[in-house]
């Protein structure tokens, strides 16, 4: 029976444009323009899912984004499996392959449905109460089992092969929602010529006009008017119409997040198109035309497949040409149910009966239904339904009790009225007010430059909606600076009304009834659960929500929140506004991680920074390590060498001959101006005024609290110019801190800071042969010890290009750092390498650099310090200018706890067994025989095997360390306790003669 | 006694280019650059020395003879010379208070041109780049994806993106990715 529920001549799809698709392995046909939902309904398929907790059979509740039940997995290939797709919004494409979720072994026979029989066990708060003991079982048994049983779809297990993109966009007027209101507002705003963006989640503009058969505008039926308007808007150069685009988040200052589904509706998206595109829009004015969502009625067994919203059935009928049943019952609290009954009856589908909660309904729709011969049962309620995998009957009775009557149906439509979609308004921090008469929350006080129009603002007729929206669009453009002619509002010839309805539970689902009357379909929350939450002491709606999980599913309670609130208010004996409303948070509908990530994946996940010398290191076999965003050469293994062998060789070679090291990643700041020295005096602990041009000094920078923030060698190039180096990791934050102090604390100083980290490539040449290697390549610099002693800087040329040549050492041997403009870095390195090879030099990496500096007790900020170490703790008192009266941190250094005895201080550690290398981070104790937990007096900060010392060496922070020289301490490890001796921090060349030649 | 070795220049991303429908990307040849900092009182003297009027209106630039000065802050300019002119030497004789620091090698420039140029940059730059808001000659220190850039509009459909050397691979790769979307 191919598409046997598709009615000839009904709907707007073209019968010739057929598509094939499959659901749970079974093949079906549908039409271009169908959603997966409408196509399944055309084939008479209502059963599409199992509920979250009770595994009850479920069908389509809606025809839109609010769908709580019809979640399916759409699979394009092994890697493209998207779980939890709402079948009501997934557009059909040829070959679409969809699968139901949360059922085993099959959708029609699901073992998990035993939960439904044991329903009394699974009441609200069940998880909190039941799975408490024993504690370990939560992690190992309960949580994994519950997660598996109470499931949504399964996450894809392969990397997402699709790509996603992002755009920032700006406009004067952003209109959200492309129904009658949004179109009217966009047209009016667009008259001004200003930039207008109109975003709508559907494939085509029209909103409720999709199903409203009773609307007529400007002499056209509503839908045709919308399509005509969409065409004219799209043709305007100042207007961008984004369909399939959901505004999911409304952030500060009219910043709105939109996600555009670019290719999920295509059979073959192709490689060029992104799957989704994130739009981050900054709008001067926002017009919210987000419409309203119909509510279901809360009665016993209101969740069987075939029971759905009246407006959904109308959308399937009037747009897709699909009858949701052949003998349809209607249960309504207002006029909306009548409109559905009339549409179905006129289309030739059988209507069993209308059941109306109102005692004495009147009006044109009631009259029309009656004249069409539809049975109307007013003052009555549906109190029960039957049907295993699809509704087969409804049982009705007078709403205040009385004789029951069962009517056979194959579908049951419900309408409790309409809830304005105030999600985005609420996200904008606007305040909602409860309208007691219509029993709904409406926008009241605006927090941003936006305005709500139409159904989301509680406006009930089409005439009023388009008038209000036109005016709002015009005013938004004017407020955004547009000089618009007076917009002409569309003329509404015929209209439907959205008024009326009820909130809360219906007859037969009251406090004394023990029935499953569902409030929240996706989380299986019943009216009874909400009353239980109140009985158990929940008073705030926020607590009721969390206890019952009402509104906490992926649909975020679009259909359930108002009912839940009304039932809780009733149980508490309070008015709805006294109980409050839960907070609306982004996203409005689920957003994929892909859309959020956009371009930021693979090589664009985070910038990878490489130095100018990187290609040489790569070509010469370097193993790299990540240092922040930088790739740094870690060590250069030769054939057959492991890391230790390579590092040992590199360390030995540097001290015997020389080594070349790429230090380009060091932060560098040029400090220039007549007050440069004054500024340096304030930022560093050291004295600078008297440092001569051409000389260098090791500087320490503190935070205001007196702890070490950064360090580095600073060269004075001229009276008014310093070349400051920072740690690699500190480059950006040191620059920021300096700039911060300069602008806020020292604005009187005439000095400017410029980052030159990337202007200069830095080649460290260290070791006894370093001068011989550099000298032949240099012009204009006398490198003799007399002319260029340790800690000096010269400007001149190397290999014909400018250099700032520093004589300085981070190894304790004679050393230089050759700074050259970055583009020359590799060429100069290659020239130095050629010279170096003549002297037996090697290239060394960051690991050997670490070992060599540790042999000399040179600290690394961030490794040997951790933000709680003062210069005194690190043995660097000498670096504090004793005569200085001010520098950042000077007052911090005098704090009582910073001068107290027993502070942790940096010391050297030698293991009693020289072959044992301590673990960095290992804790240190004074007495290994004390009971656990032991008193820990410090920890190891740096530890290496030192080939040059022929033993292991370590630095450690130890309480009162500088007073413990020669003491034996202990490092307890899981398998043994290591004995260590406290020593000074210098392990190699204690006299320091090698620095000078 | 220097050897006769002369270092050859290896600019980052040299010669890298790509074109998608509507957008072309090209890494530009090296240029001379300085970061110029000066108080208002020195603007006139520096303008004379550089041969162009340093712009004082926010986010504007001035160009003369292959030389462009970009306003980056109330006392900050990025000055470019695409003809190899020595900008440091030009400022060296200026007595008025200022700081000139050579950054020719710090930055890499990428030209983004074509009808899709604006859309391409908008993939990662939150500024309003419409011609009305960011006219030809407008400039700004801003962001592109996860990095800082200096953006200069050189034509209705042409931009110059300046970034630091080690971020140039990221910048080009990002723009390339974005250009594909702008073309789709």
How does pLDDT run across A721-752, given as a tens digit for each residue?
999 999 999 999 999 999 999 999 999 999 99
Query: Which one of B130, B175, B181, B183 makes the best mutation probe of the A interface by having the most chain A beta carbons within 10 Å?
Result: B181
- The answer to whether residue B118 is domain-embedded is yes
For A888, the token pair is 């950042």
For A145, the token pair is 């089992």
Mean pLDDT of chain A: 95
Q: Could you tell me if A841 and A704 lie in one domain?
A: yes
> Is B164's Cβ below 8 Å from some Cβ in A?
yes
Sign of the Cα pseudo-torsion (A593, A598, A599, A605, in order):
negative
> Is B137's Cβ below 8 Å from some Cβ in A?
no
State whether B145 and A600 contact (CB < 8 Å). yes
Beta-carbon contacts of residue A997 (< 8 Å; ≥ 6 apart)? A768, A785, A814
Higher pLDDT, A519 or A52: A519
End residue of a domain, out of A787, A818, A853:
A853
Q: Could you tell me if B74 and B116 lie in one domain?
A: no
> Is B89's Cβ below 8 Å from some Cβ in A?
no
Integer Cα distance of A807 and A791 in angstroms: 5
Domain containing B25 — which CATH number?
3.30.1360.120
- The answer to whether residue B113 is domain-embedded is yes
How many domains in chain B? Answer: 2
Closest CA to A860 of A953, A763, A942, A765: A942
**The pLDDT value given to residue A104:** 74
State whether A603 and B170 contact (CB < 8 Å). yes
**The pLDDT value given to residue A146:** 58
Number of other residues whose CB lies within 10 A of the CB of residue A915: 9
Q: Could you tell me if B77 and B125 lie in one domain?
A: no
- The answer to whether residue B9 is domain-embedded is no
- The answer to whether residue B114 is domain-embedded is yes
Is the predicted pLDDT of residue B1 greater than 70, yes or no?
no
State whether A274 and B5 contact (CB < 8 Å). no
Q: Which residue has the tokens 């022929």?
A: A950
- The answer to whether residue B7 is domain-embedded is no
Contacts of B176 in chain A (CB under 8 A): none
Contacts of B178 in chain A (CB under 8 A): 165, 599
- The answer to whether residue B180 is domain-embedded is yes
- To the nearest 10°, the Cα dihedral for A324, A325, A328, A333? -10
Do residues A59 and A20 lie in contact, with contact meaning Cβ atoms separated by under 8 Å? no
End residue of a domain, out of B104, B130, B154:
B104
Q: Could you tell me if A288 and A303 lie in one domain?
A: no
> Is B64's Cβ below 8 Å from some Cβ in A?
no
> Is B77's Cβ below 8 Å from some Cβ in A?
no
Beta-carbon contacts of residue A813 (< 8 Å; ≥ 6 apart)? A654, A655, A766, A767, A768, A770, A994, A995
- The answer to whether residue A602 is domain-embedded is no
Summarize pLDDT for A844-893 with one digit per residue, the tens: 999 999 999 999 999 999 999 999 999 999 999 999 999 999 999 999 99
Domain containing B40 — which CATH number?
3.30.70.1520
Q: Could you tell me if A186 and A306 lie in one domain?
A: no
Summarize pLDDT for B20-51 with one digit per residue, the tens: 889 999 999 999 999 999 999 999 999 999 99
Angle between helices A731-744 and A676-683 (to 10 degrees): 110
Is the predicted pLDDT of residue A149 greater than 60, yes or no?
no
State whether B10 and A273 contact (CB < 8 Å). no
> Is B133's Cβ below 8 Å from some Cβ in A?
yes
Q: Could you tell me if A486 and A562 lie in one domain?
A: no
> Is B176's Cβ below 8 Å from some Cβ in A?
no
> Is B28's Cβ below 8 Å from some Cβ in A?
no
Residue among B1, B99, B126 minimizing CB distance to A280: B126
Q: Does the model's ipTM exceed the 0.95 cut? A: yes
Is the predicted pLDDT of residue A717 greater than 80, yes or no?
yes
For A792, the token pair is 């000096």
Q: Could you tell me if B99 and B117 lie in one domain?
A: no
Q: Could you tell me if B40 and B24 lie in one domain?
A: no
Integer Cα distance of B55 and A304 in angstroms: 72
Higher pLDDT, A126 or A993: A993
End residue of a domain, out of B79, B104, B129:
B104
Domain containing A408 — which CATH number?
3.50.50.60
What is the mean pLDDT of the segment spanning A649-666?
98
Helix (H, G, I), strand (E, B), or coil: what is residue A779? strand
Residue among B10, B123, B177 minimizing CB distance to A827: B10
Q: Which residue has the tokens 């989380």?
A: A523
- The answer to whether residue B136 is domain-embedded is yes
Summarize pLDDT for B88-106 with one digit per residue, the tens: 999 999 999 999 999 999 9
Contacts of B133 in chain A (CB under 8 A): 170
Do residues A19 and A29 lie in contact, with contact meaning Cβ atoms separated by under 8 Å? yes
Contacts of B162 in chain A (CB under 8 A): none
Cβ-count burial of A975 within 10 angstroms (0-12 exposed, 13-18 middle, 19+ buried)?
exposed
**The pLDDT value given to residue A498:** 81
State whether A273 and B123 contact (CB < 8 Å). no
**The pLDDT value given to residue A111:** 75
End residue of a domain, out of A366, A383, A416:
A416
Beta-carbon contacts of residue A21 (< 8 Å; ≥ 6 apart)? A27, A28, A29, A30, A36, A39, A92, A93, A94, A95, A96, A97, A98
Q: Could you tell me if A288 and A309 lie in one domain?
A: no
Q: How far is A654 from chain B (nearest CA, A)?
A: 24
Percent of chain A's residues with pLDDT above 70:
96
Q: Which residues pair with A807 in a beta bridge?
A: A792, A816
State whether A604 and B177 contact (CB < 8 Å). yes
What is the mean pLDDT of the segment spanning A562-586?
93
Q: Could you tell me if A822 and A930 lie in one domain?
A: no
Q: Could you tell me if B53 and B77 lie in one domain?
A: yes
C-alpha A299 chain-centroid distance: 38
Q: Could you tell me if A516 and A428 lie in one domain?
A: no
Q: Could you tell me if B98 and B112 lie in one domain?
A: no
Q: Which domain holds residue B89?
A: 31-104
Q: Could you tell me if A446 and A402 lie in one domain?
A: no
Q: How far is A611 from chain B (nearest CA, A)?
A: 7
Q: Which residues pair with B152 in a beta bridge?
A: B139, B160
Summarize pLDDT for B130-141 with one digit per residue, the tens: 999 999 999 999
State whether A169 and B122 contact (CB < 8 Å). yes
**Among A202-206, A497-501, A939-943, where is mean pLDDT lowest?**
A497-501
Closest CA to A318 of A227, A212, A221, A208: A212
What is the mean pLDDT of the segment spanning A939-952?
98
Chain A residue whose CA is closest to B183: A272
Cβ-count burial of B141 within 10 angstroms (0-12 exposed, 13-18 middle, 19+ buried)?
middle
For A793, the token pair is 């800087």
Q: Could you tell me if B36 and B100 lie in one domain?
A: yes
Q: Could you tell me if B92 and B126 lie in one domain?
A: no
**The pLDDT value given to residue A227:** 98
**Stated pTM of the model:** 0.94
**The pLDDT value given to residue A941:** 98
Q: Could you tell me if B54 and B112 lie in one domain?
A: no
Q: How far is B37 from chain A (nearest CA, A)?
A: 7
How many domains in chain A? Answer: 6
Q: How far is B142 from chain A (nearest CA, A)?
A: 13
**Whole-number Cα distances in Å, A907 to A245, A811, A961:** 62, 18, 6
Residue among A169, A823, A831 minimizing CB distance to B10: A823
Q: Could you tell me if B46 and B25 lie in one domain?
A: no
Counting one residue from A and one from B, how many pairs have CB atoms under 8 Å apart? Answer: 153
Do residues A178 and A199 lie in contact, with contact meaning Cβ atoms separated by under 8 Å? yes
Is the predicted pLDDT of residue A150 greater than 60, yes or no?
no
- CA atoms within 13 Å, Cβ hemisphere of B115: 4
Cis peptide before A316 (omega within 30 of 0): no
Q: Could you tell me if A410 and A429 lie in one domain?
A: no
Residue among B7, B37, B119 minimizing CB distance to A831: B7
Q: Could you tell me if A738 and A774 lie in one domain?
A: yes
Q: Taking CA A133 as the corner, what is the angle to CA A129 and CA A137, rounded to the nearest 5 degrees?
A: 115
Q: Could you tell me if B125 and B78 lie in one domain?
A: no
Query: Which one of B20, B101, B183 makes the best mutation probe of the A interface by having the most chain A beta carbons within 10 Å?
Result: B101
Q: Could you tell me if B20 and B73 lie in one domain?
A: no
**The pLDDT value given to residue A129:** 63
> Is B40's Cβ below 8 Å from some Cβ in A?
no
Q: How far is A942 from chain B (nearest CA, A)?
A: 30
End residue of a domain, out of B49, B78, B104:
B104
Q: Could you tell me if A319 and A281 lie in one domain?
A: no
Q: Could you tell me if A275 and A327 lie in one domain?
A: no
What is the mean pLDDT of the segment spanning A698-703?
98
Contacts of A607 in chain B (CB under 8 A): 146-147, 166-167, 169-170
Summarize pLDDT for A761-778 with one digit per residue, the tens: 999 999 999 999 999 999
Summarize pLDDT for A584-621 with one digit per residue, the tens: 999 999 999 999 999 999 999 999 999 999 999 999 99
**The pLDDT value given to residue A126:** 64
End residue of a domain, out of A158, A189, A222:
A158
**The pLDDT value given to residue A147:** 58
Beta-carbon contacts of residue A364 (< 8 Å; ≥ 6 apart)? none
- The answer to whether residue A832 is domain-embedded is yes
What is the mean pLDDT of the segment spanning A115-135?
65
Strands A164-176 and A276-288: parallel
Q: Which domain holds residue A371?
A: 296-416
What is the mean pLDDT of the segment spanning A557-586?
93
- The answer to whether residue A283 is domain-embedded is yes
Cis peptide before A805 (omega within 30 of 0): no
Is the predicted pLDDT of residue A1 greater than 60, yes or no?
no
Do residues A622 and A636 lie in contact, with contact meaning Cβ atoms separated by under 8 Å? yes
- The answer to whether residue B10 is domain-embedded is no
């Amino acid at each position: 029976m191919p598409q046997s529920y598709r009615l000839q001549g009904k709907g707007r799809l073209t019968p010739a444009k057929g598509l094939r698709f499959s659901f749970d392995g079974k093949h079906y046909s549908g039409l271009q323009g169908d959603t997966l939902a409408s196509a399944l309904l055309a084939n008479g398929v209502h059963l599409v899912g199992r509920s979250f907790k009770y595994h009850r059979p479920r069908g389509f509740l809606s025809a839109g984004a609010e769908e709580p039940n019809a979640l399916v997995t759409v699979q394009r290939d092994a890697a493209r499996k998207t779980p939890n797709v709402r079948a009501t919004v997934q557009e059909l494409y040829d070959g679409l392959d969809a699968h139901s979720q949360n059922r085993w072994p099959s959708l029609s026979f699901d073992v998990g449905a035993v939960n439904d029989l044991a329903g009394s066990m699974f009441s609200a708060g069940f998880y909190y109460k039941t799975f408490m003991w024993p504690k370990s079982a939560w992690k190992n048994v309960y949580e994994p089992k519950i997660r598996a049983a109470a499931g949504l779809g399964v996450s894809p297990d392969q990397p997402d092969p699709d790509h996603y993109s992002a755009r920032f966009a700006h406009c004067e007027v952003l209109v959200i929602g492309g129904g009658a209101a949004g179109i009217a507002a966009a047209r009016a705003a667009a008259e001004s010529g200003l930039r207008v963006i109109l975003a709508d989640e559907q494939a085509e503009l029209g909103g409720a006009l999709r199903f409203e058969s009773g609307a007529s505008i400007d002499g056209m039926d509503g839908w045709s008017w919308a399509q005509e308007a969409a065409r004219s808007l799209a043709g305007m150069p100042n207007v961008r119409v984004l369909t399939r685009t959901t505004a999911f988040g409304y952030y500060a200052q009219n910043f709105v997040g939109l996600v555009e589904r670019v290719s999920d509706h295509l059979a073959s998206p192709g490689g060029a198109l992104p799957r989704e595109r994130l739009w981050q829009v900054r709008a001067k004015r926002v017009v919210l035309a987000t419409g309203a969502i119909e509510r279901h009625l809360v009665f016993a067994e209101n969740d069987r497949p075939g029971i759905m919203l009246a407006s959904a059935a109308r959308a399937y009928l009037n747009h897709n040409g699909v009858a949701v049943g052949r003998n349809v019952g209607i249960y309504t609290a207002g006029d909306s149910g009548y409109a559905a009954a009339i549409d179905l009856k006129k289309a030739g589908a059988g209507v069993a009966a209308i059941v109306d909660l109102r005692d004495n309904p009147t009006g044109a729709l009631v009259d029309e239904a009656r004249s069409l011969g539809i049975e109307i049962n007013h003052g009555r309620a549906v109190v029960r339904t039957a049907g295993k995998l699809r509704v087969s009957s409804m049982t009705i009775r007078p709403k205040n009790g009385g004789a029951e009557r069962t009517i056979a149906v194959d579908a049951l439509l419900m309408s409790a009225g309409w809830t304005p979609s105030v999600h985005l308004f609420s996200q904008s921090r606007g305040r909602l007010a409860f309208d007691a008469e219509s029993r709904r929350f409406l926008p009241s006080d605006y927090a941003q430059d936006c305005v709500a129009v139409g159904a989301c603002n509680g406006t009930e007729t089409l005439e009023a909606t388009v008038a209000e929206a036109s005016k709002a669009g015009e005013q938004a453009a004017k407020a955004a600076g547009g000089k618009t002619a007076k917009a002409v509002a569309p003329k509404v010839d015929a209209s439907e009304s959205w008024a009326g309805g009820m909130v809360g539970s219906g007859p037969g689902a009251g406090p004394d009834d023990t029935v499953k009357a569902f409030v929240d379909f996706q989380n299986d929350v019943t009216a009874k659960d909400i009353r239980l939450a109140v009985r158990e002491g929940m008073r705030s709606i926020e607590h009721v929500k969390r206890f019952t999980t009402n509104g906490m599913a992926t649909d975020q309670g679009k259909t359930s929140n108002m009912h839940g609130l009304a039932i809780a208010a009733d149980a508490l004996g309070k008015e709805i506004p006294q109980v409050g409303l839960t907070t609306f948070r982004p996203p409005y509908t689920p957003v994929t991680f892909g859309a959020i990530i956009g371009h930021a994946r693979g090589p664009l996940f985070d910038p990878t920074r490489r130095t100018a010398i990187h290609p040489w290191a790569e070509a010469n076999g370097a193993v790299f390590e990540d240092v922040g965003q930088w790739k740094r050469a870690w060590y250069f293994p030769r054939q057959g060498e492991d890391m230790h062998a390579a590092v040992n060789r590199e360390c030995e070679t540097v001290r015997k001959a020389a080594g070349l090291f790429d230090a380009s990643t060091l932060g560098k700041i040029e400090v220039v101006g007549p007050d440069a020295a004054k500024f340096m005096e304030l930022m560093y602990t050291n004295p600078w005024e008297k440092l001569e041009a051409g000389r260098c000094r090791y500087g320490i920078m503190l935070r205001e609290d007196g702890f070490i923030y950064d360090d580095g060698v600073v060269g004075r190039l001229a009276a008014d110019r310093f070349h400051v180096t920072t740690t690699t990791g500190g480059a950006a934050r040191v620059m920021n801190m300096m700039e911060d102090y300069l602008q806020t604390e020292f604005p009187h100083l005439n000095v400017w800071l410029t980052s030159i980290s990337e202007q200069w490539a830095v080649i460290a040449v260290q070791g006894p042969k370093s001068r011989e290697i550099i000298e032949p390549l240099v012009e204009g610099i006398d490198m003799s010890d007399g002319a260029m002693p340790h800690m000096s800087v010269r400007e001149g040329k190397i290999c014909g290009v400018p250099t700032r040549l520093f004589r300085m050492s981070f190894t304790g041997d004679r050393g230089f750092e050759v700074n050259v403009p970055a583009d020359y870095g590799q060429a100069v390195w290659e020239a130095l390498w050629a010279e170096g090879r003549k002297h037996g030099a090697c290239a060394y990496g960051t690991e050997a650099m670490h070992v060599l500096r540790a042999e000399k007790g040179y600290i690394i900020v961030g490794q040997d310090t951790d933000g709680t170490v003062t210069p005194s703790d690190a043995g660097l008192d000498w670096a504090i200018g004793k005569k200085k009266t001010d520098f950042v941190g000077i007052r911090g250094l005098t704090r009582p706890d910073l001068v107290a005895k027993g502070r942790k201080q940096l010391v050297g550690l030698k293991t009693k067994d020289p072959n044992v290398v301590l673990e960095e981070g290992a804790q240190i104790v004074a007495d290994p025989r004390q009971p656990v937990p032991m008193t820990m007096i410090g920890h190891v900060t740096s530890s290496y095997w030192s080939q040059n010392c022929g033993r292991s060496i370590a630095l450690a922070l130890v309480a009162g360390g500088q007073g413990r020289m020669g003491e034996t301490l202990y490092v307890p490890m899981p398998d043994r306790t290591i004995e260590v001796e406290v020593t000074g921090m210098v392990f190699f060349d204690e006299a320091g003669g090698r620095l000078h030649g | 006694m220097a050897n006769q070795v002369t270092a050859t220049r290896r600019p980052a991303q040299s010669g890298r280019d790509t074109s998608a429908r509507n957008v072309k990307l090209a890494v530009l040849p090296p240029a001379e650059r300085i970061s110029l900092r000066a108080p208002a009182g020195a603007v006139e003297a520096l303008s004379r020395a550089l041969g162009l009027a340093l712009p004082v209106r926010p986010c504007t630039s001035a160009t003369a003879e292959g030389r462009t000065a970009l306003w980056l802050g109330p006392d900050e300019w990025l000055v470019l010379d695409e003809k190899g002119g020595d900008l440091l030497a030009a400022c060296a004789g200026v007595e008025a208070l200022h700081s000139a620091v050579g950054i020719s090698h710090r930055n890499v420039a990428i030209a983004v041109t074509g009808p899709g140029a604006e859309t391409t940059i908008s993939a990662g730059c939150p500024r309003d780049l419409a011609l009305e808001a960011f006219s030809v000659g407008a400039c700004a220190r801003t962001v592109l994806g996860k990095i800082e850039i200096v953006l200069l509009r050189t034509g209705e459909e042409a931009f110059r993106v300046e970034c630091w050397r080690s971020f140039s691979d990221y910048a080009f790769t990002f723009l390339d990715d974005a250009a594909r979307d702008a073309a789709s």
